[in-house]
Chain A
Amino acid sequence: MDLFFLLTQIILVPSVAPLAVGIIKKIKARLQNRDGASVLQPYSDLRKLFYKDEVVSSDASWIFRAAPYVVFGVTIIAGASIPLFSSFSSTHLMSDMLVIVYTLAIGTFFLALAGMDVGSAFGGFGSSREMTLSALAEGGFIFSLLTIAIMTGTADLFTISGNTLFFDGQYLIPTILAFSGFFIILLAETARFPFDNPATHLELTMIHEAMILEYSGKKLALMEWASANKLVIFFMLGANVFFPIGLAASESVGALIIGLSAFFLKLGVFAAIIAVIESVMAKFRFFRLPDLLIVSFILNAVAIGLIYL
């Protein structure tokens, strides 16, 4: 049972991640009065990329070649270690909030190195921007999880997601504040509006796309897939840490079915929110982004203060 559970956890995130991207793209297209591609289009894109030949820069070192595996692997590890559809876990050993945050940081680190490795003007600047944002996002990220950890008395994400303290009157406002802070970080870490524009390759705006500009074939597929995984990871952190509803609390079949349906529902809701945000607002100027990240941090500091009122 433990092994079955672990395998489900490992497979679930990468298998639905392209769907999440597809849903966002579909909703955005509909909002722009286009029909848009099928929600399953990202799967076909990945398949196509996996079967293409590759061009690798002559300046690239082994860092460039290894980075896609590291970046992708890290999202699999993080995805398997957070509550997705259940609030029980077989291990509890990887699900500490700091382990998740710093494991994701490994991915960011290698992504940035890969961007610099080929020596193009785009890659380097993409890395610089990415590291600037992620350095500033770390405060909001850890503190938003910490707020909930303090409320529930544990930093273990599975144990947190088994809790229903959030709906107590005392904790409601801190939870909402912490979630708002977290949501800003979600947008930053998954390279969404207003931080980054995932749809363009315009050198003035791009961050994530600039770093993976030199990739092609399998490695590009891994990079794209990893960023989709990261999207799902942040969706699920947002849903199951801050408002844990519908998670399976036991191993019964009924609870698991409810848990999985809730998982897909949450995925859809978050994807819709992202799509709407991307349709109604513009990207921010780069030097306004730190303000937003600091706001996230301050929201969380206020939330921690409110817990003890």
Chain B
Amino acid sequence: MLTIILSPLFFLTALALFGAGAIGSLFLQKNDKVTNWWSNSFAVLGTALGLCFSSAAIYAGKEYDFMIGSSPFSLLSFSFHVDLLSSFFIFAISLIGVFCSVYAFGYVTHYYGKYQLGTLGFFYNILFLSLFLVVSSANALFFLIAWELMSIASYFLVVYDRNDPANIKAGSLYLVMTYVGTAFIILAFLFLYKYTGSFDFSAIASGIALVPQSVKNAIFIFALIGFGIKAGIIPLHIWLPAAHPAAPSHVSALMSGVMIKTGIYMMMRLFLDILQPVPLWWGETVLVIGAVSSLLGVLYALTEHDIKRLLAYHSIENIGIILLGLGSALIFYTLGVPSLALLSFIAALFHTINHAIFKSLLFLSAGSVINEVHTKNMEEYGGLIKYMPSTALFFLIGSMAISALPPLNGFFSEWLTYQSLFQGITSFHYSLRWIFVLAASSLVFTGGLALMCFAKAFGAIFLARPRSGEVLHAKESAMPMRVAMGLLSIVTIFFGIFSGYVTRFLEQIAASLDIFHTTTSFVSVTPKLGLLLTDGFARVSAPVILGFFAVVFGIVVISVRFLVNRKQKIVVGKTWDCGTTLGPRMEITSTGFARSIILVFKSVLKPSLQREVRYHDEQSRYFSHSGKVSMHVIDMYQQYFYEPINTMINGLSLRVKNIQGGNINVYISYIFIALIISLYVVL
């Protein structure tokens, strides 16, 4: 059995299933129900195969190189290289993919009769196909084809709900940004081709010594921009909070959970594998970008009252945390401490999979809520825990995981990231130490602010009284959706409790990179499934934490509820509010909740407040008739980064327009001049 699963054919079957799912949905699109079943069944099957294949490959430690067909061009080959890092990402994609597709069975029913489900099924399956190809291709041109396929499929999914003009706008922004990114990626690959003479990743890696350092630096910057746009690093993130909310929720989960991770995958692949050895400042740059992205990501999340935008900003934050791990790995490796580099790399990988799990859980539960309340605005929710109890529980588990509360999975990957940053502080001198102090402090504040943000989100969505009539009609979501969210919650808990096992596998995956072949990791797994740093600096054990929690909570609940004052009567009364009428207006809103922290960070967030009051009598101005307050947060990047670029390009275009005289003789003279110049250059 294992040999069948471990053959490349198994992987290709998964790809074929996605293909069949995609094409089939187009043919079946007359019937919504059949299309739903067809497209999502194939997605579930394909990702299930991917899950089996990748877990078997990781378990057996097997790597593959294979090729399908031959291409008409000598530089392009449809070759695959599936090493353990690729398998890890295939695992992440498949794991999230399975649950998102199960969820989709119930979720897409609300599109019945509204939109063509065939196109949704088509692009959804194509997205899976391209995600698989992106992380497994071994040729840069093949990779670019897969990358473009992924961008286009996700673009069409973003604009799927096309009746809302905001979605079309978000889609266009995404398309523009993603093409800017691709342009930089192509440049990076062309430079590599120029010096190594090949587009094959393995040939590039073996010929990397031929690339001069200055060119390598340029490649680093191009790759950082190109893949950074996809990953959503600040300040290249602007498409992310616009596009993720626009897509259908199971697609948002997929995009936030795994699609942006393909950017991270390529950064890992290039910086740790192909382009090694790398100079110190690369790692420093990645570390600083990680610190800035995580802190600003969570700050902007706090200002949001659109639930999906809030989650999208948290993706930026978590990408930042992953980059903290990756950046320290680069620094440690360059400075000759590979065991610490391995620790940091494990932390980055662990956070990658953890974020994929809890972020898709959060997006799916947010999707269920939106599906019932028909708005993404958290101010119109409230009290949903009584109408959607299971969804509330799943969202709570996701919130606790993303806020790194033990013993859920987020805590252990952040713990590892902390440890690598702490090691950075103690190991190095002067400037480098302060970079690590900066990174650690950004992670510390990010943790606190994320906790606050999810207290706000959970409170505003599920607690207190309903703030709009829609909530009163909300029902618990359909069975497939609850199953998907429930299983994801279990996975969240599982990855926390068995963080020891997970770390062991991640170590195996990380050690498969050439640079870590002979490295022993700085973190070891103790017999009690705890994690222990080699120098004994810190240790943690998930099963012990869980056991301790269970025993103490058990004792407390039993003794307080059943031993002390058993005759206690509980009366249900109204909330005390100084005798005023209790209305939804008495509760705190998500804007109100975050207002004080926004004012604390007013130098970064630049909040503005405008009041308009209309009075009964304009002359006396004693009795106000109605009032309006509008609060905004100015987007700094928009103002200081994108606006100037925009103005510059517009200005330049105006200048260029001058050569367009409209006179045909002038144009002919242009052609003549161009001809002369090119002849001069060529001869």
Query: Given A132-B596, A136-B448, A154-B536, are A102 and B383 neighbors across the interface (CB < 8 Å)?
Result: no
B463 touches A213 (CB 8 A): no
Contact A54 B540 (CB under 8 A): no
CB neighbours of A290 from chain B (8 A):
600
Q: Is the interface of B mostly helix, strand, loop or mixed?
A: helix
> Shortest distance in angstroms between A77's beta carbon and chain B's nearest beta carbon?
5
A138 to chain B: closest residue by CB: B448
Q: Mark A281-309, 1 if CB is under 8 A from B, else 0.
A: 00000110010000001000100100010
A58 lies within 8 A of B553 (CB): no
B626 within 8 A of A: no
Which of A59, A72, A155 makes the CB contact (< 8 A) with B422? A155
- Asked if A72 contacts B452 (CB within 8 A), the reply is no
Q: What bracket does the count of chain B residues touching chain A fall in?
A: 35 or more
Contact of B568 among A93, A109, A217 (CB under 8 A): A217
Inter-chain contact B538/A54, CB cutoff 8 Å: no
CA distance A128 to B600 in the complex (A): 13
- Per-residue A-contact encoding for B401-415, CB less than 8 Å = 1, 0 else: 001111000010001
CB distance from B440 to the nearest CB of A (A): 8
Which residue on A lies nearest to B569, using beta carbons? A53
Residues in B whose Cβ lies below 8 Å from that of A142: 444
**A149 CA to B425 CA in the complex, in Å?**
11
Asked whether A129 and B588 contact (CB < 8 A) given A61-B463, A304-B437, the answer is no
Return the CB mask of A8-30 against B: 1 if under 8 Å, else 0: 00100000000000000000000
Question: Does B568 lie within 8 Å of A127, measured CB to CB?
Answer: no
**Of the 9-residue stretches A112-120, A171-179, A245-253, which lies at the interface with chain B?**
A112-120
Q: Is there an interface contact between A61 and B573, defined as CB atoms closer than 8 Å?
A: no
**Is B680 interfacial (CB-CB < 8 Å)?**
no
> Chain A residues with Cβ under 8 A from B556's Cβ?
69, 72-73, 76
Contact A149 B422, beta carbon cutoff 8 Å: yes
Given the interface pairs A54-B569, A99-B540, A143-B444, the reply to whether A76 lies near B552 with Cβ below 8 Å is: yes
Query: Judging by beta carbons under 8 Å apart, are B586 and A120 in contact?
Result: yes
In contact, A57 and B553 (Cβ under 8 angstroms): no
B400 to chain A, nearest CB (A): 7
User: Residue A132 contacts which of B459, B572, B597 (CB distance < 8 angstroms)?
Assistant: B597
User: Would you list which residues of chain A between 69 and 114 have a CB under 8 Å from chain B?
Assistant: 69-70, 72-73, 76-77, 80-81, 91-94, 96-99, 102-103, 105-106, 108-109, 112-113
Complex contact A109–B403 (CB within 8 A): yes
Q: Is B229 an interface residue (CB 8 A)?
A: no
Closest A-chain residue to B541, C-beta based?
A93
B602 to chain A, nearest CB (A): 10
B386: shortest Cβ distance to chain A, in Å?
Answer: 6
Q: List 28 A-B contacts (CB under 8 A).
A: A53-B570, A54-B571, A55-B573, A59-B465, A62-B385, A69-B553, A73-B553, A81-B548, A94-B545, A98-B418, A105-B403, A117-B463, A118-B464, A119-B383, A119-B464, A128-B592, A128-B596, A131-B593, A134-B451, A135-B448, A142-B444, A143-B440, A143-B441, A143-B444, A153-B426, A153-B537, A218-B568, A287-B599
Task: Give 8 closest A-B pairs by Cβ, nearest first.
Answer: A124-B588, A119-B464, A138-B448, A135-B448, A116-B459, A155-B538, A131-B452, A93-B544
